[in-house]
Structure 1
Amino acid sequence: MIGQVVFGLWVAAVTLGGIYLGQQMAPEPAADGTVAVDHTRYNDFKTDLFAIPYVNETGIVGYVTGRFTVKTIAREEAALGLPLNTVMLDALSRHFYAEADKLAHPDGWSRLRESMQRLREIANETAGREVVADVLIEQLDFFDKNSVRVPGDSRFESSENR
Structure 2
Amino acid sequence: MIKLIGTGVWILAITLASVYFSLKMASSPKVDAAAAEREAAMEFVTGYTTTVPVIGADGVNGYLLTRLAYKANKELAAKQVVPLPQMITDELYTLLVGNKLIDVNAAGSFDLEAFRGVVKEGLNRRFGAEVIAEVYVEQIDYLTTASVDNPPLKQGVTLLKGEVPSGEAQGSSGH
Contact persistence 2:49–2:66 (CA under 8 A): yes
Residue 29 of structure 2 corresponds to which residue in structure 1?
Answer: 22
Contact persistence 2:67–2:139 (CA under 8 A): yes
Report how many aligned residue pairs link the two structures. Answer: 139
Give the residue type in structure 2 aligned to 1:105.
A
Residue 34 of structure 2 corresponds to which residue in structure 1?
Answer: 37
Deviations 1:27-69 (A, max 9, x none): 5xxxxxxxx7231121111112111000122100111001111
Deviations 1:80-101 (A, max 9, x none): 2221012211111111113366
Matched, 1:13 2:36: no
List runs of 5+ in structure 2 lacking aligned partners: 1-8, 152-175
The change in CA–CA distance for 1:60 and 1:100 in structure 2 (over 3 A counts) is: farther
Relative to structure 2, which stretch is displaced further, 57-66 or 81-90?
A: 81-90
Contact persistence 1:64–1:141 (CA under 8 A): yes
Give the residue type in structure 2 aligned to 1:18.
A
Residue 129 of structure 2 corresponds to which residue in structure 1?
Answer: 129
The change in CA–CA distance for 1:77 and 1:65 in structure 2 (over 3 A counts) is: same
- 1:101-120 correspondence runs (5 A): 102-109=103-110, 111-120=111-120
The change in CA–CA distance for 1:115 and 1:100 in structure 2 (over 3 A counts) is: closer
- Alignment TM-score, normalising by the size of structure 2: 0.67
Partners of 1:53 and 1:4 lie apart in 2 by 71
Matched, 1:53 2:53: yes
Which structure has the highest helix share of the two? Answer: 1
Contact persistence 1:62–1:143 (CA under 8 A): yes
Residue 32 of structure 1 corresponds to which residue in structure 2?
Answer: none
The change in CA–CA distance for 1:18 and 1:101 in structure 2 (over 3 A counts) is: closer
The change in CA–CA distance for 1:80 and 1:7 in structure 2 (over 3 A counts) is: farther
CA RMSD, Structure 1 to Structure 2 (Å): 2.8
Partners of 1:93 and 1:69 lie apart in 2 by 15
Give the residue type in structure 1 aligned to 2:103.
K
Q: What SS does the corresponding residue of 2:80 show, helix, strand or coil?
A: coil
Q: Identity over the aligned pairs, expressed in percent?
A: 20
The change in CA–CA distance for 1:133 and 1:79 in structure 2 (over 3 A counts) is: same
Contact persistence 2:42–2:72 (CA under 8 A): yes
